[in-house]
Amino acid sequence: MSAPFDRSLTGELAGEVPAEWSVSPQAGDEERVVESALRPHSLHDFIGQPKVARQLALVLEGAKRRGRTPDHVLLSGPPGLGKTSLALIIGSELGTAVKITSGPAIERSGDLAAMLSNLAPGDVLFIDEIHRIARPAEELLYMAMEDFRVDVVVGKGPGATAIPLEINPFTLVGATTRAGLLTGPLRDRFGFVGQMEFYETADLQRVLARSADLLGVELTADGSAEIAGRSRGTPRIANRLLRRVRDYAEVEADGRVTRAVAEAALALYDVDHLGLDRLDRAVLEALVAKFGGGPVGVATLAVAVGEEPHTVEEVCEPFLVRAGLLARTPRGRVATEAAWQHLGRPLPRGGVPLGRVTADPQVPGSSSEVLFDA
């Protein structure tokens, strides 16, 4: 049964793998449309993040009983873990509207002042990537968060006048993937800070079961486990893989997503059993095969795989480090023993470079210096 928000897959079903496919936790524009249909609408339906969900439920229920707006909420964590979903759930639980914007979109303080003045009492203002908000707008936000008032400056130079503008009480929900980039004054004005964690496989299977039901996909338990195990602990990636496996199941199989179908589909899309895609494996292969496991600078490593250093550092490395396949050391990037084993390569004589930070006279060629500088 086809769901109403399915889109045409022309060009993807004739054995052609999309060039842009990856297991990136970032969402594209079309993917956001599908995500909106899969999002939960209440804390009861929200899967995972039990500590944050429980704490947030107490904050919201307490505010409703007092008849006041809740404290401002900051949600921090890697992309794809449900920060936007929780922001929308806050508005749903409070029975108020949610106005959505992003930090980079607010370039001037006047833009923010206009947005705040249009909020109805109790509304939720959600600012995604709030750490990227312009500094003048951020300073205007301080007074709005504390006193529900903004000062609008009229005129320029010595004749400029600040006109105080009262705004309706509101709840600000900020989301950030880089909490360390938030300024102290802004961070301190949030009454509740929730740190989102990566999901366990069992929780991802529950996410997949719910999404499969909404998508009209027949998903078996072993098929769900196979997809969840390759999803990097991220619901967004799990849902994306489910949709791609569904495509394969409908075209190449009988429509049921079993373990065998999931394995075949994910092999076609270059996603291995750890969740590594083509670029991730290219980085590990270059590090191991071309540079003997490292240490090597990120710029040199990027040239070896034909990518920009920023792509390697921001897209590939976080998961490789979390998976224990790569280490960032003062001497450069180093492949761990697990990386050699994952690639099916024998360990070098004398062990992996990570094990010899200082020179070992028993191992020819060992040195405490960086072998390949950036």
Cβ contacts of 114 within 8 Å, gap of 6 or more:
none
Is 38 within any annotated ligand binding site?
yes
Is 277 within any annotated ligand binding site?
no
Residue 152, CB half-sphere, CA atoms under 13 Å: how many? 14
Is 236 within any annotated ligand binding site?
yes
The one catalytic residue in 230, 232, 236, 246 is 236
Is 240 within any annotated ligand binding site?
no
Both structure tokens of 139: 């300073």
Is 199 within any annotated ligand binding site?
yes
Is 29 within any annotated ligand binding site?
no
**Residue 345 to residue 352: CA distance in whole angstroms:** 12
Q: Is the peptide bond before 295 cis (omega within 30 degrees of 0)?
A: yes
The one catalytic residue in 69, 84, 258, 300 is 84
The one catalytic residue in 83, 230, 240, 244 is 83
Is 270 within any annotated ligand binding site?
no
Adjacent-strand bridge partners of 96? none
Is 189 within any annotated ligand binding site?
yes
Q: For this structure, is 84 an active site residue?
A: yes
The one catalytic residue in 69, 96, 176, 177 is 177
Is 148 within any annotated ligand binding site?
yes
Is 333 within any annotated ligand binding site?
yes
Backbone phi, psi, residue 128, to 5°? -80, 150
Q: For this structure, is 177 an active site residue?
A: yes
The one catalytic residue in 69, 96, 123, 128 is 128
| HEC string for 46-105 | CCCCHHHHHHHHHHHHHHHHHCCCCCCEEEECCCCCCHHHHHHHHHHHHCCCEEEEEHHH
Helices (H), the chain: 29-38, 50-66, 83-94, 109-117, 135-147, 184-188, 201-215, 221-229, 235-252, 259-268, 278-285, 298-305, 309-311, 317-322, 337-342
Is 132 within any annotated ligand binding site?
no
Q: For this structure, is 290 an active site residue?
A: no
Both structure tokens of 332: 């450069």
Q: For this structure, is 280 an active site residue?
A: no
Is 80 within any annotated ligand binding site?
yes
Cβ contacts of 56 within 8 Å, gap of 6 or more:
43, 73, 86, 90, 192, 194
Annotated binding site: 38-39, 80, 83-85, 146-148, 189, 199, 236, 328, 333
Please state the residue numbers annotated as binding site for ATP. 38-39, 80, 83-85, 146-148, 189, 199, 236
Binding site for DNA: residue ranges?
Answer: 328, 333
Which residues are known catalytic residues?
83-84, 128, 177, 236
Binding-site positions for Mg(2+): 84
